[in-house]
A and B are shown apart, each in its own frame.
Chain A
């Protein structure tokens, strides 16, 4: 085998190697996408479940046993969160008790799904805008993470009084 033939063989093997690596990469990407889809289905169910749980609670600590007509009676934006004496989630009685609440659900296939909740006041007609003052509208943001998810799953729900 002369030098020219050897070079042709080496170039041929290199081309074949590049082709094989490309196929492997493409296949791995497809498997990853499938795994992300699986995690997304599971994470969405968990997030919806958490939103369902939160939205059936009272709008505010001060609306549990009375009716209010002014936003002055609501909890201050900086105090949204667990109230005194509320340690367990089963003790939460209003929507904003879940502010900064975290939960971990362990499932057999994809391990732990970590959920985090944020609750804050928003402006009535622009619920995407966070309000620094009290309003009769609160937004619940739920974030779910898992090692299989390439990005955090984020679901939100707006509740009004």
Chain B
């Protein structure tokens, strides 16, 4: 009888230990994935925002009038002499549809395109799930998108609020790691 109790006790303890180790294994695996995903998203947003800041602060450089060609919530076309050669260049930023990335596990990721003059659109999948532009005039009043179809109204733009959200391509227990960034950019050539 005593040996039977020993066997049962040992089995229970052994099973508990195995369950604890399995649980720990799952936890370490999922938390590691979460941290790696989060770090990748943070690294990606730092890279993208540095490019956006570099480009957007140059809006209107050496362009006397009509510095912005298209101003929409997910698209901005503007002009500047980027290479300082006296020739006006154009830059077109726009967000592609989610249907362009049907094979990624994240259903919301999209491509953000950057098109310099008439070059082939450039982009890479870095997990952008949201990119939104809001435009303000000199008094800080928000300009509505319908009005911004008019060049006269676009010429009133003095600052552009950029909102960007990046998420990991894979989820951990249904949650996507990510990071958000929001900045109101005031290009000097729009202000002065």
List the interface of chain A (C-beta within 8 A of B).
1, 9, 13, 16-17, 20, 23-24, 27-28, 30-31, 34-35, 37-38, 41-42, 45-46, 48-49, 52-53, 56, 89-90, 105, 107-110
Contacts and interface: CB of A to CB of B under 8 A. Distances in A.
Q: Chain B binding site: helix, strand, loop or mixed by DSSP?
A: helix
A132 B180 CA distance: 39
Contacts of B20: 16-17, 20
A89 B142 CA distance: 13
A31 B34 contact: yes
B165 A41 contact: no
B31 A27 contact: yes
9 contacts: A17-B20, A24-B27, A38-B179, A41-B181, A42-B180, A45-B49, A48-B183, A52-B184, A109-B165
Nearest to A40: B42
A41 B46 contact: yes
A52 B140 CA distance: 13
B15 interface: no
A45 B35 contact: no
Contacts of A35: 38
Contacts of A31: 31, 34-35
A27 B29 CA distance: 10
Contacts of A46: 182-183
Given A27-B31, A89-B140, A38 B38 contact: yes
B63 interface: no
B83 interface: no
A13 to B, nearest CB: 7
A110 B35 CA distance: 16
A110 B72 CA distance: 26
A23 B181 CA distance: 32
Given A48-B183, A52-B186, A16 B17 contact: yes
Top 6 nearest A-B pairs by Cβ distance?
A90-B140, A27-B31, A34-B38, A49-B183, A49-B184, A45-B183
A42 B179 contact: yes
Nearest to A110: B180
Contacts of A37: 38-39, 42
B182 A9 contact: no
Contacts of A56: 186, 191
B132 to A, nearest CB: 11
Contacts of A45: 49, 181-183
A80 B127 CA distance: 44
A100 to B, nearest CB: 19
B13 interface: yes
Contact of A9 (B13, B27, B28, B35): B13
Interface in B23-46: 24, 27-28, 31-32, 34-35, 38-39, 41-42, 45-46
B185 interface: yes
A53 B184 contact: yes
A1 B35 contact: no
